[in-house]
Structure 1
Amino acid sequence: TFLVRSKGIKNKLGVKSPLHASPRVIATLVVASITLFQLGVELITVYPQIRQAMQLLSVNGTSDIPLIQHSKTLLTVLDAGFYVSFSLSSIFMVFYVLAIFIGYRKDLEKMQRGDYTFLPMKLRKSLNDNLVAASLRYSGAQIVYLIWCYLLLLLIAWMACIAIAYIVVLPLMGNVPFWFFNPVLIFLPLMLMNFGFMKLQIFLSRRFFLQDFSVMMPKGLRTQKALALDNIKVFNILSFFMFFFHVIIGVVGCLNRIMIGLAIGLISLARLDRCMLPMGFEKYDKGYSTYLGMLMLEVHHRNPVASVFCNELLVSNREKGCANVLLAPANNIQGNVEPISQKYRRICRKWAKLYTLINNPSVRRSYVDRKSECSIEHVEIAM
């Protein structure tokens, strides 16, 4: 099982894939990882000093015993919340950087296959100078977005830990007054009621309001009832009487939507490959437009098909006697000595061409046909 999972992770990261990631993207993520590590070390070093100063201030600032006890409780909660939030946010950022790289590779593969459907139409039709300018901003923007995401995630997680401690844990332990527990007593019944009525509506819809004949589900694995109403009068009556109740329950749904939106926005802050704005407003997300500019530039300059095509043009020029000395065979170089770097690049280009020909039958057939027409002297490919 471990080997299978490790192979799956390697496939996602593209360890053995012929599609090479951009050195610029790799360098950006490496620098971002080093920066995040240094920032984490600074935070874990500075916090004990701040905590010690707060402890001295709380002890020397007052002589009231209950207040001192509350100060000690607060410091304990701050310590626990900081270390928990620091650990969670640091682990999250490690997987976050890997997710950014995997998302970049997936988008690059789609675009190199000619699939541009996931790109917004307005950004797809951007001017070339705007794309180049946006590409220049990618590295710095990605690092800064990761730093801000790390700090905000740490801060929000810290505040959430403090809130959970004072609203749930400490009232149940008796360290703070029980009225701190009132928000739970207010919102928990509303949430349970909302959940229960949603399940009840789903049951009524499945049992009484859908006609009883089956159709295939979109995935084609199971069947479900057709989207055709039965008992329409009862459905209209129920929707009328449930209208006022849904207005009240809608408060919980609205708060739930706000909280989920904030959480997803915070988590997706540094994912420049994901637009944080709704459809039609993608151009106002500067981070997303920066990522697309970099991606478009990478596709146009590092496309393997274009690279092989240019290589074929160079080889054809050599056969016509128009190539420069770098494309000449090794035995034509003075002293029959070829630099190691040039020899290595020539072997790599030959291997890349061979891989492309193997995985593209149509290109391979045309290449073999052209090769059969050439003489023995023109068969050798010099790179």
Structure 2
Amino acid sequence: MASNGSAGIRDSPLEPGIFLDEDLGSDWYIYESTESTPQDDLFPEAIPECHPTISPRMYHTIMAPISLAVILALSFLVKRRRLYLNCWNGVPGLLSPGNFLEEEVPRGPAAAVFGALLSSLCQLLLDKDPLPLAGPSAPSARELWKVLALLYYPLLYAPLLACAGPRHRLGYGAGALLAWAHCAAHLGHRLQCPLATKIHRLYSLLSHVPILLSLSLLSVWYPALLVRSLRRGDSSEPEIPGKSYYRKYLKAVLSKRGRKESSAKIEESLWSRIRSYLLSYVYIPEEGFRIPLKLVVSLTVAVIAVYQVAVLLLVAVVPTLQIVRAGMTKDVVVLLVQFGLVPSDSPAVPGDMEKELATVRHYLWSLEVCYICSLALCCLLTCAMLLRSLGMHRSNLRALYQGAVLDVFSKAHILRPSREAVVCWIAFSAFQAAFACLGLLIQQVIFFLCSVAFTFLVVIPLQAGTSSPLFGIIRNMWPFWLTLVLAMLVQHLLARSQFLEQHSLQKEITNRRALSIVTFLLFPTNVLLGALAGVWRVVISGLYNAVHLCRLDISLLQRGVETFDPGYHTYCHYLKVEVSQCHPLLRAFCLLLLQPGRARPQAAPRDTHLEEGLQLMHPHPTAPGRARPRRLRARWWVAYTLLRNPSLGASRKTALADPAANGPQLGAPRP
């Protein structure tokens, strides 16, 4: 009867409070609350499904055929303007995104296109529909669609860079239309659906920031090129790309300005050395030298990859910690107290756990702070290493341009392309992005664990005024630490005062009998010192390799086995291709040879009434020594260039075999 009465009362909407006691109501309505909690703001399931005006499938269905049509149209245009005068004679020329071994590809737009492509691939790995053009896919075929998407996205974004290849106003107009269409579609999608249920509500918006910035840059760059082309005409475009850069490099190399360096270098202060060390991580451009396009693209995609991984790590962990901290209850605190994970002075009673609950929430907040701080530190270190590598790239390229192979490689290398070198050059930028991602992940794990250990073993015990296990270990082992410190001090003092005798210019070992006695007596103590040094060696090696993993210009292995480092191996072969194919001095001299000669003044009209023999005679014979200074000057510049760049000598072997090398005949070429 009681149960029936209570059920009837429970069904009555007029008196909702007379049938429930406090405990039963708290059990039934524990997750219902009229106030907003942090959980409601963090759960992505509360976001309604969004359907934009232009869905991703419609966007790809429209843009893919348009991009293909633009590529075909510009291919016919290139064929007509560059290869054949009649457009239909032969197969149309293949339109490529650009020659990355030349200076013709603009740096900013090329980096923007690669950045947009990389961001799309990062989102592809977490998307349920990896190929929106094909519609929803089954879970069993999702991996196959991802492989096809790896080939589809480069074809989709290739016209954004290829439209600048023909250097024609039609190409600029097509590029502007494509960039505007891509940018409008992505921007409209983000404005209509800024939040998403994938991983976190803000992940979709944050991960699309590089794509929006890249497409915005292209949307401004192509119209600027189109306006300049309409004002000046297509004929004003440079015929030889990079001509101005090669000239500037040649002038910088052949300049006669001396460097003002003091012969006696004064010892720098500590602040000056710290300042010089910090400035070494900032790349400062130098006159006459330009970083190759491939390196600019590699640095850009590496920074974007670091940003994408950092956003993923941030939104995947921090909201979860906030949810756990907001949903922590006294029952869970009682369990933690019973396991000894939370200190408590009172018995583990659920009603008296207010202080322990605050302690657990403080611990979770400390974990959140450690995670965010370690992630920010890892991002800063990775970006600093990437910037530091630019200075190393410049010094390595300049050394190889001068022929100093042993200053870069551990053994002599022939700077010529090979099959393996070409493959490494193709994969260099992709390797740089992948190594940057992996390095950031490893750094995050290491620095997070270190920060958590320091926080819970040092900071929190000092705040609470309690004893830490670390402090207890150090306090109980003080004789051991004191012995090691005294042993180190004794050895250093004896080595300085008793075992070294300084003569006029050198130092010699003395008191060898006492040296042998001390060596034998301190052997057990040095074993303990060696164990600590071994632990420190492991720690410092792990930290160094984790921080420098993103750099391909240095090897993480020793000199003898550095070829087993795939990153450094790829970088070495990349340098071979760049130096052998893009030597600026060689290209500068080729440009000088391609320049049209100066117009000679026309000869005075001859008198036709003279006899035939007199007409063949020179009325003003040229001085025999006038051509000699020009020939000597040309040989001097060639010799000077070869001295500054010995690697160019291999290209002149066939020319030096000719007894008439360096042009004794500066006039008409030999038949």
Please give the TM-score of this superposition, normalised by the length of structure 1: 0.72
Q: How does 1:1-383 map to 2 (within 5 A)?
A: 13-56=283-326, 58-59=328-329, 62=332, 64=334, 65=353, 68-117=357-406, 118-121=408-411, 128-174=418-464, 178-185=468-475, 194-215=484-505, 225-226=506-507, 228-315=508-595, 362-363=640-641
Q: State whether residues 562 and 568 of structure 2, in contact with CA within 8 Å, keep that contact through their aligned partners in structure 1.
A: yes
Residues 122 and 254 of structure 1, relative CA distance in 2, 3 Å threshold: farther
Shift of 1:238: 1.0
Q: Distance in 2 between matches of 1:165 and 1:208?
A: 45
Residues 275 and 173 of structure 1, relative CA distance in 2, 3 Å threshold: same
Q: Distance in 2 between matches of 1:25 and 1:39?
A: 21
Shift of 1:374: 5.9
Q: State whether residues 131 and 296 of structure 1, in contact with CA within 8 Å, keep that contact through their aligned partners in structure 2.
A: yes
Q: State whether residues 10 and 16 of structure 1, in contact with CA within 8 Å, keep that contact through their aligned partners in structure 2.
A: no
Shift of 1:187: 7.4
Shift of 1:259: 0.8
Q: Which residue of 2 aligns with 1:348?
A: none
Q: Which has more radius of gyration? A: 2
- 1:74-102 C-alpha deviation (Å, 9 max, x unpaired): 20220221222122222222322211211
CA RMSD of aligned residues (A): 3.9
Q: Distance in 2 between matches of 1:358 and 1:47?
A: 66
In the alignment, residue 129 of structure 1 is paired with which amino acid? R
What is the SS of the residue equivalent to 1:13?
Answer: coil
Residues 184 and 166 of structure 1, relative CA distance in 2, 3 Å threshold: farther
Shift of 1:311: 3.0
Shift of 1:305: 2.2
Q: Distance in 2 between matches of 1:94 and 1:87?
A: 11
Residues 289 and 270 of structure 1, relative CA distance in 2, 3 Å threshold: same
Shift of 1:116: 1.3
Q: State whether residues 325 and 365 of structure 2, in contact with CA within 8 Å, keep that contact through their aligned partners in structure 1.
A: no
Greater fraction of residues in helix = 1
Between 288-297 and 28-37, the greater mean CA deviation after superposition? 28-37
In the alignment, residue 301 of structure 2 is paired with which amino acid? V
Q: State whether residues 120 and 282 of structure 1, in contact with CA within 8 Å, keep that contact through their aligned partners in structure 2.
A: no
In the alignment, residue 120 of structure 1 is paired with which amino acid? S
Residues 312 and 30 of structure 1, relative CA distance in 2, 3 Å threshold: same
Shift of 1:34: 2.3
What is the SS of the residue equivalent to 1:19?
Answer: coil
Residues 47 and 371 of structure 1, relative CA distance in 2, 3 Å threshold: same
Shift of 1:109: 1.2
What is the SS of the residue equivalent to 1:259?
Answer: helix
Q: Distance in 1 between matches of 2:443 and 2:503?
A: 49
- 1:105-129 C-alpha deviation (Å, 9 max, x unpaired): 1111111111111313387799821
Q: State whether residues 276 and 285 of structure 1, in contact with CA within 8 Å, keep that contact through their aligned partners in structure 2.
A: yes
What is the SS of the residue equivalent to 1:137?
Answer: helix
What is the SS of the residue equivalent to 1:104?
Answer: helix
Shift of 1:44: 3.6
Q: State whether residues 191 and 252 of structure 1, in contact with CA within 8 Å, keep that contact through their aligned partners in structure 2.
A: no
Q: State whether residues 416 and 580 of structure 2, in contact with CA within 8 Å, keep that contact through their aligned partners in structure 1.
A: no
Residues 233 and 40 of structure 1, relative CA distance in 2, 3 Å threshold: same
Q: Distance in 2 between matches of 1:82 and 1:20?
A: 39
What is the SS of the residue equivalent to 1:211?
Answer: strand
- 1:271-301 C-alpha deviation (Å, 9 max, x unpaired): 1111111221111100110111111111111
Residues 9 and 63 of structure 1, relative CA distance in 2, 3 Å threshold: closer
Q: State whether residues 425 and 574 of structure 2, in contact with CA within 8 Å, keep that contact through their aligned partners in structure 1.
A: yes
In the alignment, residue 110 of structure 1 is paired with which amino acid? A
Residues 246 and 124 of structure 1, relative CA distance in 2, 3 Å threshold: farther
In the alignment, residue 547 of structure 2 is paired with which amino acid? I
Q: Distance in 2 between matches of 1:361 and 1:195?
A: 62
Larger relative contact order (CA 8 Å, sep ≥ 6): 1
Please give the TM-score of this superposition, normalised by the length of structure 2: 0.43
Shift of 1:167: 1.4
Structure 1: gaps spanning 5 or more residues: 216-224, 320-327, 330-356, 365-369, 379-383
- 1:179-210 C-alpha deviation (Å, 9 max, x unpaired): 35334446787566545533432221121111
Q: State whether residues 171 and 178 of structure 1, in contact with CA within 8 Å, keep that contact through their aligned partners in structure 2.
A: yes
Q: State whether residues 439 and 549 of structure 2, in contact with CA within 8 Å, keep that contact through their aligned partners in structure 1.
A: yes
Between 148-157 and 257-266, the greater mean CA deviation after superposition? 148-157
In the alignment, residue 232 of structure 1 is paired with which amino acid? R
What is the SS of the residue equivalent to 2:289?
Answer: coil
In the alignment, residue 200 of structure 1 is paired with which amino acid? V
Residues 371 and 284 of structure 1, relative CA distance in 2, 3 Å threshold: closer
Shift of 1:50: 1.0
In the alignment, residue 557 of structure 2 is paired with which amino acid? L
Q: Distance in 2 between matches of 1:151 and 1:359?
A: 52
Q: State whether residues 134 and 294 of structure 1, in contact with CA within 8 Å, keep that contact through their aligned partners in structure 2.
A: yes
Structure 2: gaps spanning 5 or more residues: 1-270, 335-352, 600-634, 643-661
Q: Distance in 1 between matches of 2:576 and 2:312?
A: 37
Q: Distance in 2 between matches of 1:188 and 1:314?
A: 79
Q: State whether residues 11 and 17 of structure 1, in contact with CA within 8 Å, keep that contact through their aligned partners in structure 2.
A: no
Shift of 1:176: 6.2
Q: State whether residues 123 and 283 of structure 1, in contact with CA within 8 Å, keep that contact through their aligned partners in structure 2.
A: no
- 1:126-165 C-alpha deviation (Å, 9 max, x unpaired): 9821122122221111111111112222222111111001
Q: Distance in 2 between matches of 1:120 and 1:229?
A: 34
Q: Distance in 1 between matches of 2:280 and 2:525?
A: 51
- 1:166-187 C-alpha deviation (Å, 9 max, x unpaired): 1112223337653353344467
- 1:20-59 C-alpha deviation (Å, 9 max, x unpaired): 2111110111122123223333444444421223225532
